[in-house]
Chain A
Amino acid sequence: MTTFQSIGLPLLALLALITVVAMVRHSINARAGFGWLAVWIAAATAIARPSITITVAHALGIGRGADLVLYCAILGMLIGFFFIYIRFKRLDREITKVVRHIAIHQSERGD
């Protein structure tokens, strides 16, 4: 086992454990939980058996396994940013509603 594997695999196992605990406690919903578990398992597989990434990369027309991992990471982050941005905008609107409520109700108490 390489040094990277001996650091990476226990770390991913810990993350998977945390995810399962969070799912059991219902602090995240099942869909999100399984999504994250899939991510951890995929990462662990790629670290434990790097040759698998090469096979998958070739199947997708990508030359190297490392490139496949890089592309997936970038794509995943972009998708993540997009959803966070949407959520942020929604939160912004909720804040506006709260501010509006305070503005209108404060003035009515002052009348």
Chain B
Amino acid sequence: MAENSDVWVVVPAFNESTAIGAVISDLRHFASNIVVVDDGSIDETAAAAETAGARVLRHVVNRGQGAALQTGIEYSLSHGARIIVTFDSDGQHSPADLPILVAPLLEGKADIVLGSRFLGSADRMPALRRVLLRIAVFFTRLMSGLKITDAHNGLRAFSRRAASMIHIQLDRMAHASELMDQIRRSGLPYTEVPVHVRYTQYSREKGQRTVHALRIAFDYFIGKWVR
């Protein structure tokens, strides 16, 4: 699938100049269309991504990961993407998981494929993070009714049909739960595949702090009210 021009990879990035170059270079072995959405970075993220061979869209001000994903998805759709993969910019995900992720879409078995670190593997996941993610999964199952094992994994794949139906409105991190609601409401078939997540020193420093979980839950509930 190296030259598969139907597959578009959307990479939201905020101040990731140190990691993004390597992430894009690795991704290019598996996909030709890579869209980096630079979410108002103040470092050289955009330049690093462009040098590595990605198309770069720039948010003039930081709007959050949910907003960046939606921008990348809309752009990819308007350029004829048949399959859209979302991929984190901090090097947590493994580009080698891409073929596994898009396989159910190509085989017509699902419209949405979610990567799960709990079905797959996660290197050096901090114990507290493991507990928190389990709680988040419980919360998501409760709210959306989706039977999934990992709600907050940025590695996902959507068919064109699914991507067109999804409108991420929650700009910041609560979009993950919002997305699950929309998947359920769309009624489209979804599946989970095992993926590998790597917790590096860098990703831990850059990633979500544990205390932000409450804020995310709050945003999610407020989001249910504001339409």
A residues neighboring B (CB under 8 Å): 85-86, 89-90, 92-93, 95-96, 99-100, 102-104, 106-107
Contact = CB atoms under 8 A, between A and B. Distances in A.
Contacts of A104: 57, 71, 74-75, 78
Contacts of A107: 55-58, 75
Interface residues of B, number: 21
B134 interface: no
Contacts of B55: 107
Contact of A103 (B37, B169, B222, B225): B37
B226 A89 contact: yes
Interface of B: 37, 55-61, 63, 67, 70-71, 74-75, 78, 169, 171, 222-223, 225-226
Contacts of B61: 95, 99
A86 B225 contact: yes
A55 B57 CA distance: 64
A93 B222 CA distance: 13
A35 B198 CA distance: 57
A106 B60 CA distance: 10
Q: Say whether chain A's binding surface is mostly helix, strand, loop, or mixed.
A: helix
Which of B59, B78, B223 is packed against the most chain A CB atoms within 10 Å? B59
A90 B74 CA distance: 20
A54 B158 CA distance: 64
Contact of A95 (B63, B75, B222): B63
Contacts of A93: 169, 171, 226
A58 B225 CA distance: 36
